[in-house]
Structure 1
């Protein structure tokens, strides 16, 4: 009996952790940026800075046409190259890194920050892939 009780406590703790983690990223995403649909992203991306926060190898494998790569791992050192007077459109595969990047930008005084709701994995628009020979 004692083993089952401990197993239930461990499983409940794991579920609670994931629930709180999701809630944290949801709150930070709402606080730091506006989550937009793919259609909204496509409509506004020509007038915005489109930034892919995935790692370089993922970016090279395929990215939204017109995006530039600023990997989240080097994001803090690269924020200075992002203009404050233009909207910023962020994306990655799942929104997790985009939310973190948006939070860093908000803390630096950036305001017009938008995140692609579905992430790159569900993107149906134009893409570019690095040619491998």
Structure 2
């Protein structure tokens, strides 16, 4: 854990998704980055919009935050954690994602 933020590896997330675990994968990159390739099960909420779109998240379902390298998603994880969400940051971001991506 980094600064009290829960973390998950890309491989752990991939295994959870493949096992059909109920998760919310939130990608906080910008639209252009999303369009270049994203995790199939992810939902795009660019970091700047997160405070105004937080009501789209289900507090009862664990959340995994994703970005390009892990820095923006780390900030988003800190923010949501302070709001009482069960949230983890995917370390390494999409640069470390071993699975398939969609465009």
Q: Could you say which structure has the greater relative contact order, defined with CA pairs below 8 angstroms and 6 or more residues apart?
A: 2
Q: Given the alignment of the two structures, is residue 35 of structure 1 paired with residue 15 of structure 2, yes or no?
A: no
**Aligned residue number for residue 78 of structure 2:** 103
In 2, the alpha carbon distance for the partners of 1:44 and 1:35 equals 14
In 1, the alpha carbon distance for the partners of 2:7 and 2:94 equals 14
Measured against aligned partners, the alpha-carbon deviations of 1:45-72 in whole angstroms (never above 9, x if no partner) come to: 3420011000111101110111110000
Partner SS state of residue 65, structure 2: strand
Query: How many residue pairs end up in the alignment?
Result: 99
In 1, the alpha carbon distance for the partners of 2:6 and 2:69 equals 15
**Aligned residue number for residue 28 of structure 2:** 53
Higher relative helix content: 1
Q: Given the alignment of the two structures, is residue 70 of structure 1 paired with residue 51 of structure 2, yes or no?
A: no
Q: Which has the larger radius of gyration?
A: 1
**Aligned residue number for residue 125 of structure 1:** 99
Structure 1 unpaired stretches of 5+ = 1-25
In 1, the alpha carbon distance for the partners of 2:91 and 2:79 equals 18
Matches within 5 A, 1:14-29: 26-27=2-3
